[in-house]
Chains A and B, each alone.
Chain A
Amino acid sequence: MVERRPWLDFLSHGILILGVIVIAFPVYVTFVASTLSLEEIMSMPMPLWPGDRLIENYSQVLFAGTSTGSTAPVATMLFNSTVVALCITIGKIAISLISAFAIVYFRFPFRMFFFWMIFITLMLPVEVRIIPTFQVIADLGMLNSYAGLTLPLIASATATFLFRQFFMTIPDELAEAARMDGAGPMRFFWDVVLPLSKTSMAALFVIQFIYGWNQYLWPLLITTDESMYTVVIGIKRMIVGGDAANEWHLVMATAMLALLPPAAVVLLMQKWFIKGLVETEK
């Protein structure tokens, strides 16, 4: 950094490479396992090089499911996960945009009250209110439905805060110029605020997509119909306990499928991902 210390540089790279390896190891093992046959996995030790069963395992899992635990084809589960993740993401972004817009650009009675109400939701994750929320969903008849899977998770305020912070940085004069130009509030929102919010929306998209895709406890509770499983809980349902009884090669293939889409989103949209993480926490 400041001085030349080659051995420290060497050490730094060493530690980093070690870190990368340790981080990657579990996923590597998973990938390898997903390409092996069950017998190869069960033999101790499992080989550490990829096998030749890649296409077999993946197609079986995608289209036929496993024979133990759940029998739903993973393709269906992937579809469900995608729908849930996208609904949560788009839903959250949409309602947060208009809420933040209202709070920043209008003055109306109860404004601060509404703001604090939304703020409080930050404090309590869904895990804390599972039983009663389940009750509400059941009462609304939304068990085993996309609505039930997504609506309770749209309720939190991180997105509203992000957009609010951003809207505060839009110069007042821009809104005044728009007012002069004759734009009403919604026109201003659509023509000016939205285009300017594109990077924030992208950042939020990444974070919320991962959040929605990775949901576990909630889908676990409200889906009993296998055709509504998301892939993340599908994996859990495949493991029925005891090492020997599971079709590990298929479970691992499913695991790979479960983690690839969010990982792809992170890698492809890395810039926005980082921005989203860092800014939602302020």
Chain B
Amino acid sequence: MAAVSIRNVHKSFGAVKVIQGISMDIADGEFVVMVGPSGCGKSTLLRMVAGLEAITSGEIAIGDRVVNNLEPKDRNIAMVFQNYALYPHMSVYDNMAYGLRIQGRTKADIDQRVQRAAEILELSKLLKRRPRELSGGQRQRVAMGRAIVREPTVFLFDEPLSNLDAKLRVQMRSELQSLHQRLKTTTLYVTHDQVEAMTLAHRMLIMNAGRSEQIGAPLEVYQKPATTFVAGFIGSPPMNLIPGRIGEGGKVLAADGDARVRLPEPRSAYDGRNVLLGVRPEHFDTCEPGAALMSPDIDFIELLGSDSLVYGHLGADKSGARVAARLHTSVVAKEGRLPLRFAAEHMHLFDPESGKRLEA
């Protein structure tokens, strides 16, 4: 059990800067998810913690030790790979026992650890099988078993569920959660799937192009995204970002394309300023036309059964800002203007140039 400290870490491959100054302190026993789009550097960061990539500058500490120059096997960590990386010619038992054998443990010790892990992961009946005889989910569990038997201070997961089908993914997610509750080991988990991130994380590190966009608990990241990137990354469909200028003493947003949005609460501090107005699709409600804050013109509707996704645009012509609304009803007009309102606590303002959140 140990805390992990990432201090101002940079990574370059030759002239290409891949990670630019990331810092984060992960508490003992925490489940931290590093999430972001492909190529943002999250796997590279994980691999630096693992010792599989060299650190260009900065420090990584596990427990009290700075591990920059330590080999992976000396860091007391375990890693679960995206493609499981099981030794194809060894049985499940041998796969799990391999690292322990290298450590020179006694047969009894090895057996006890492997059996225990197998029991936790429900692999006890499969110990003699080869990886090719197992399903994807089973292989994933063997990979986890191999990590567990080492009794490491930190678990590292590199997109472990990406190769599983959707249904299996949901199931494995809950298994991962219960595993963590049981073992309470500090965990670093990399994924590009924001749903996985939201459901598993105690805290998230959202990355984009090698930088950290925001660090926080899932709810915090959802309710108070620090940048437009985070706002657009978390939540599906993504948050609406409507460009415009605050006017009339902070009461109104004059959106491009000659549209007007009334703000539920005045933001006089930003009067006269160009901003991006952010509202999540799920935070809209239909209302009477008189009470509407905005009335986009409907382009098309997706009926999901219980909900409807309405896509429209503000303003007179099709060049106005696009708006998506997720309404909890299946009864919606098919065309024309849709009167919508939203609450003040669901309103976000961002600076258009920096993308950063503007506080109320």
The short answer to whether A and B are in direct contact, CB under 8 Å, is yes
Q: Which residues does A use to contact B, with CB under 8 Å?
A: 171, 173-174, 176-183, 187, 191-192, 195-196
Known: A181-B73, A182-B73. A176 touches B99 (CB 8 A): no
Q: Are B85 and A171 closer than 8 Å at their CB atoms? A: yes
Closest CB-CB distance, B62 to chain A, in whole Å? 14
Residue B50 at the chain A interface, CB threshold 8 Å: yes
Give the distance in Å from the alpha carbon of A171 to the alpha carbon of B163 in the complex. 15
Q: Are B88 and A187 closer than 8 Å at their CB atoms? A: no
- Name the residue of chain B whose CB is nearest to the CB of A192: B87
Which of B84, B102, B103 has the most chain A CB within a 10 Å cutoff? B102
14 contacts between A and B (CB under 8 A): A171-B83, A173-B81, A177-B79, A177-B85, A178-B98, A179-B71, A179-B73, A181-B99, A182-B99, A182-B103, A183-B99, A183-B102, A191-B87, A191-B98
- Name the residue of chain A whose CB is nearest to the CB of B79: A180
Q: Which residues does B use to contact A, with CB under 8 Å?
A: 50, 52, 71-73, 77-79, 81-89, 98-99, 102-103, 146
User: A180: which B residues are within 8 A, CB to CB?
Assistant: 50, 72-73, 77-79, 99
Give the distance in Å from the alpha carbon of A191 to the alpha carbon of B72 in the complex. 19
Q: Are A181 and B85 closer than 8 Å at their CB atoms? A: no
> How would you classify the secondary structure of chain A's contact residues: helix, strand, loop or mixed?
helix
Interchain pairs with CB closer than 8 A, number: 53
Q: Are A196 and B99 closer than 8 Å at their CB atoms? A: no
Closest CB-CB distance, A172 to chain B, in whole Å? 9
Which of A182, A187, A196 has the most chain B CB within a 10 Å cutoff? A182
- Name the residue of chain B whose CB is nearest to the CB of A173: B85
User: A179: which B residues are within 8 A, CB to CB?
Assistant: 52, 71-73
Closest CB-CB distance, B161 to chain A, in whole Å? 16
User: A171: which B residues are within 8 A, CB to CB?
Assistant: 83, 85
- Name the residue of chain A whose CB is nearest to the CB of B152: A180
Q: Are B85 and A174 closer than 8 Å at their CB atoms? A: yes
Give the distance in Å from the alpha carbon of A176 to the alpha carbon of B78 in the complex. 11
Give the distance in Å from the alpha carbon of A171 to the alpha carbon of B85 in the complex. 8
Closest CB-CB distance, B160 to chain A, in whole Å? 12
| Other contacts beyond A177-B86, A182-B103, A196-B88: 9, CB < 8 A | A173-B83, A173-B84, A176-B52, A177-B81, A180-B77, A180-B78, A191-B98, A192-B87, A196-B89
- Name the residue of chain A whose CB is nearest to the CB of B99: A181
User: B98: which A residues are within 8 A, CB to CB?
Assistant: 178, 181, 183, 191
Give the distance in Å from the alpha carbon of A261 to the alpha carbon of B55 in the complex. 57
Give the distance in Å from the alpha carbon of A181 to the alpha carbon of B53 in the complex. 16
Closest CB-CB distance, A193 to chain B, in whole Å? 10
Closest CB-CB distance, A202 to chain B, in whole Å? 14
Known: A176-B52, A177-B79, A179-B72. A187 touches B102 (CB 8 A): yes
User: A174: which B residues are within 8 A, CB to CB?
Assistant: 85, 87
Closest CB-CB distance, A189 to chain B, in whole Å? 13
User: B99: which A residues are within 8 A, CB to CB?
Assistant: 180-183
Find B102's partner among A173, A176, A181, A195 (CB 8 Å cutoff): A181
Closest CB-CB distance, B135 to chain A, in whole Å? 19
- Name the residue of chain A whose CB is nearest to the CB of B84: A173
User: B82: which A residues are within 8 A, CB to CB?
Assistant: 173
Closest CB-CB distance, A17 to chain B, in whole Å? 41
User: B146: which A residues are within 8 A, CB to CB?
Assistant: 177, 181
Closest CB-CB distance, B234 to chain A, in whole Å? 29
Give the distance in Å from the alpha carbon of A191 to the alpha carbon of B87 in the complex. 9
Q: Are A182 and B79 closer than 8 Å at their CB atoms? A: no
Give the distance in Å from the alpha carbon of A28 to the alpha carbon of B73 in the complex. 63
- Name the residue of chain A whose CB is nearest to the CB of B74: A182
Give the distance in Å from the alpha carbon of A179 to the alpha carbon of B87 in the complex. 13
User: B85: which A residues are within 8 A, CB to CB?
Assistant: 171, 173-174, 176-177
